[in-house]
Structure 1
């Protein structure tokens, strides 16, 4: 009579193979269609939220709200909304914040006008707080959205820039926060690219968040303060003259100084 087969090891192998097959099966992976559906759901959720907020505003004022595209548009919008912001501060803040975060999340141009508007309506301190809060929240939402569906878009729009960014991040893993602060403070790379590319090159969210929260303060301060004197602005380009850019790069250089000093000691 044949000896009974040792099913212990064979059974374990079979279970491992079944688990491997399950892991490789299409049902356990998130196909592109599912990711796109989730991203579309996020967009619909944001849109419904905006609609609900705007629909609660007084009808007479609701029809006046338009996203500005030029400094002239911004001046007219500021005049139209000044009284409304004083009469309905809570509703205005909610509408302003939701619009700013929506634009930042879905890469809609024009947030710089929203930053100028914050300075014009709320002054430097409150305006700066609002802008940094909304910009950080919107950038964080964009980060997670890009983590879900952004890789094909970034590879298509900026293939070479993405490769260079990946190489720079790989060289600076030990002092990544300093490098990200430098990028946020200076106009070396567009903020839109940083938001989209960061999850693709495996920048941890806590570093992305801290660098965004702190690094956006200098440029936001310049923009918000400029909003106090909209009459003196002819275009957005006037915000960043040579003196302003020099100050931003100086602050950015200070942020990466520890990295440069450590590298110098290593070579010595």
Structure 2
């Protein structure tokens, strides 16, 4: 207990003083110019390291793509990170064609792409969650999405721990300090709190990922909370993908039922947003 309180005070003090500069002022109340240059240089160096890691990961993605079966020109155009439901449907059509014959290649491509997006906080993972319901049975799809989300978020956590602290200190000071205070309130049941944050829209996932190591959230707790926390919203997305697959393959025979299910899932997905204020008041 004493150790946790000491760690918390150290983190809060370090975050607040590093970003506001109150811990580095001279006797006349001004911050020394050399320190400002040092902080700027540290942030720039972190961004350069992050860029190098990103390029290395992009190279791995390129190798995965090169190992994929030979595609025709029309299929190559559809092999891109989906930005909307039409893109996800087109990509699912291509992948489902090769899934049975090249099961491992398709699974590896899906797995690495999802983790890549999560690691670098690139939009599009929600459509990959929908795509999992299009390609795989529900239990496997749910496990894949939870595992990819947990691993990708954890890699983002480790990147932030390695090179992201100066960026957090420079641009996210106030929010990081506030969340640090909230985390300390729930330190005794931190897994439940992380699960709650993943389900509800109080904090963006990218913000949780990059600030968690700065405010002393343990990596193991972070992974477990993320793994289970993304399950409820993923349930909605995967069911949408399953319904989309039925619409695509079965036609009008199931279209009305499928559209009804999609409507119910859409309503369920926005309930946390509608009750955001009430949930936050209970949490606080």
TM-score with structure 2 setting the length: 0.68
Candidates 101, 122, 147, aligned match of 1:108: 122
Whether 2:198 is the aligned partner of 1:172: answer: no
Candidates 40, 48, 53, aligned match of 2:59: 48
Equivalences for 1:1-268 in 2 at 5 Å? 35-60=46-71, 63=76, 64-155=78-169, 157-230=171-244, 231=247, 240-241=266-267, 245=271
Distance 2:85 2:194 in 1: 30
TM-score with structure 1 setting the length: 0.72
- Residue ranges of structure 1 left out of the alignment (5+ in a row): 1-30, 261-268
Aligned partners of 1:123 and 1:225 also within 8 Å? no
Aligned partners of 1:180 and 1:208 also within 8 Å? yes
Deviation at 1:186, TM superposition (A): 2.2
Deviation at 1:106, TM superposition (A): 0.7
Partner SS, residue 100 of structure 2: helix
Deviation at 1:237, TM superposition (A): 10
Deviation at 1:239, TM superposition (A): 5.0
Deviation at 1:163, TM superposition (A): 2.3
Gap change, CA 1:246 and 1:69, over 3 Å in 2: closer
Gap change, CA 1:45 and 1:114, over 3 Å in 2: same
Aligned partners of 2:88 and 2:131 also within 8 Å? yes
Distance 1:133 1:179 in 2: 19
- What is residue 14 of structure 2 aligned with on the other side? none
Aligned partners of 1:39 and 1:148 also within 8 Å? no
Number of positions where the alignment pairs a residue of Structure 1 with one of Structure 2: 223
Aligned partners of 1:143 and 1:198 also within 8 Å? yes
